[in-house]
Amino acid sequence: MTLEQQILHAFAQRYGAAPTWVVRAPGRVNLIGEHTDYNDGFVLPMAIDRAVWIALRARDDRRVIVHSLDFEQTVGFDLDTLQQADLGWAEYVKGVAWALQEAGYPLTGWEGVTAGDVPIGAGLSSSAAIELAVARAFAAVADLPWDPARMARVGQRAENSWVGVNCGIMDQLISAAGQAGHALLLDCRSLASQAVPLPPGYRFLVLDSAAPRTLAGSAYNQRRAECESAAGKLKTVYPAIVALRDVTPAMLAAHADLLDPVELRRARHVVAEDERVLRCVDALADGAITTVGALMLASHASLRDDYEVSSAELDALVELAMLTPGVIGARMTGAGFGGCAVALVEADAAEAAAEAIITRYRERTGRAGKAYICAASQGAEAHRATHPAPA
Ligand code: GLA
């Protein structure tokens, strides 16, 4: 059974009726543009064909009741008395309800069943997927307008202020706005997006290091602070600077002496990474696939050496990928310190490459590792559940 069939079936079992709506929102993999989103810069992610699904129907009161097939747990809460707790996945549901109401959206209650296949904690944005699926659910039952950028902001607010994770806007925006068959060039300042067709004849492999991301939270916040500090110091000579997005390589070179060595390395990564994203979009448009590969490798080196967010496992995945026939480029993806790498590979070689890389990774590190061949999917969507649930 597909996930959609599973939630339809479980809904019918619980409520003795078919749901009114089915919604889904995908996870993501970022192709290039790492740690640029919170510097108002550019990113190039794609929504993947793994998602969080919810089957639901409206209630005529202000309660929300959700059963998770993955956690085998039911949570219920009242929209007028939302309270933070430590309920794991349910905090994302409540957090989105809170953020939608804070943004002025009038909500109604609903009940539903959820399930997902975005690996949790692997750096593929399972949190953004549940946030945007819940936002889609509220939008469906209350007939709210679906503006992907505004809904992405709601998801980010839930994550920042309710769940307490200080993420940027990339994950929520791609989950909200993704387009099948495309990556999206996202301007994280204006939230404008441009669909970038993926190169025919190639695939993106997601390589999960299966290594714990212990440092991720604290080091992430530290990197953000270092970037803000660097931008603040450069602003003393260039008053128009709001974030590192506004700094060119020439400006940085001319005033490197204003920054301490760590800030200089962080700024060098961000400023160069923004340029790499735009060059990568051009290279994809030109079919210059080896340039795309070279930019991915340059991005990885910069994240490893200047931004210092890679890990031995991620470096090993990239190195092993580049030794594998058919692979054009590879880099770590997401926040770093564990999580996943992404590799661009010739379509015909994709399956063999996935297996070869993971086998060698296991031999080298003793960690499980896992590879997914990902297709670019549509962002958050809702449809009426017209078909009856299977028996
Ligand atoms: C995490 C965050 C994103 C982004 C990336 C790094 O995925 O949630 O906002 O900052 O790290 O590019």
pLDDT digits (tens, 9 = 90+) for 276-327: 999 999 999 999 999 999 999 999 999 999 999 999 999 999 999 999 999 9
Q: Give dist(CA 175, CA 128) in Å, integer.
A: 7
pLDDT of residue 277: 99
C-beta neighbour count of 189 within 10 angstroms = 16
274 ligand 1 Cβ < 6 A? no
Is residue 83 scored above 60 in pLDDT?
A: yes
Ligand 1 within 6 A of 34 CB?
Answer: yes
Ligand 1 centre from 154 Cα, in Å? 16
Q: How confident is the model at residue 158 (pLDDT cuts 50, 70, 90)?
A: very high
Alpha-carbon gap, residue 53 to 66, rounded angstroms = 12
Pocket test for ligand 1, best of 29, 32, 35, 37 (most atoms within 8 A of CB): 37
Ligand 1 contact via 338 beta carbon (within 6 Å) = no
Residue 193 in tokens: 């997006």
Which tens digits make up the pLDDT trace of 100-153?
A: 999 999 999 999 999 999 999 889 999 999 999 999 999 999 999 999 999 999
CA 212/CA 218 separation, integer angstroms: 14
| Predicted pLDDT of residue 215 | 66
Query: From ligand 1's centre to the CA of 276, what distance in Å?
Result: 17
For residue 222, give the amino acid letter: Q
Query: Which is higher by pLDDT, 186 or 391?
Result: 186
Classify 260 as helix, strand or coil: coil
How is residue 282 annotated by DSSP? H
* pLDDT tens readout for residues 258-267: 999 999 999 9
Q: Is 37 in the pocket of ligand 1 (CB under 6 A)?
A: yes
CB 202 within 8 A of CB 210: no
pLDDT average, residue stretch 248-267? 98
pLDDT confidence of residue 386: 74
Cβ atoms of 43 and 37 within 8 Å: the answer is: yes
CB 357 within 8 A of CB 321: yes
The predicted model gives 70-80 an average pLDDT of 97
Active site residues: 171
Atom of ligand 1 nearest to the CA of 169: 9
Is any ligand 1 atom within 6 A of the Cβ of residue 159?
no
110 C-alpha to ligand 1 centroid (Å): 31
Is 389's pLDDT higher than 60?
Answer: no
Ligand 1 lined by 263 (C-beta under 6 Å)? no
How far is the C-alpha of 112 from the C-alpha of 97, rounded, in Å? 15
Atom index in ligand 1 nearest the CA of residue 125 equals: 7
Q: What is the pLDDT of residues 325-354, one digit of tens each?
A: 999 999 999 999 999 999 999 999 999 999
Using an 8 Å Cβ cutoff, are 310 and 341 in contact? no
What percent of the chain is predicted at pLDDT more than 70?
98
pLDDT of amino acid 178: 98
Q: Judge if the beta carbon of residue 27 lies within 6 A of ligand 1.
A: no
**Residue nearest atom 3 of ligand 1, based on CA coordinates:** 168
How many A from CA of 35 to the centre of ligand 1? Answer: 6
pLDDT at residue 388 in the model = 53
pLDDT > 60? residue 367: yes
Residue 358 pLDDT: 98
Which domains occur in the chain, in start order? 3-196+377-384 (3.30.230.10), 198-374 (3.30.70.890)
Percent of the chain scoring above 90 in pLDDT:
96
Mean pLDDT confidence for 28-32: 98
- The mean of the pLDDT values for the chain is 96
pLDDT higher than 70, residue 61 = yes
Measured distance CA(256)–CA(263) in Å, rounded = 9
Residue 67 token pair: 């059963």
User: b/e per residue, 1-26, with b = 16+ CB within 10 A?
Assistant: eebbebbbbbbbebeeebbbbbbbbb
Mapped onto helix, strand or coil, the DSSP state of residue 188 is: coil
Cα(354)–Cα(29) distance, rounded to whole angstroms? 16
Q: Which of the listed residues 29, 31, 32, 35 should we mutate to test ligand 1's pocket, taking the one with most ligand atoms within 8 A of CB?
A: 35
pLDDT at residue 387 above 90? no
Q: Is the pLDDT of residue 251 over 90?
A: yes
pLDDT surpassing 90 at residue 217: no
The answer to whether the CB of 183 falls within 8 A of the CB of 31 is: yes
Nearest-CA residue for atom 8 of ligand 1: 167
Which of 118, 171, 188 is the pocket-test mutation for ligand 1 (most atoms within 8 Å of CB)? 171
Task: Tell me the whole-structure pTM to 2 decimals.
Answer: 0.97
Contacts of residue 66, defined as CB under 8 A and 6 or more positions apart, other chains included, come to 54, 74, 75, 76, 90, 93, 111, 112, 113, 114
Mean pLDDT of the region 24-38: 98
- For the residues 359-373, what does the mean pLDDT come to? 96
Q: How far is CA 173 from the centre of its chain?
A: 8
The answer to whether the CB of 7 is under 6 A from ligand 1 is: no
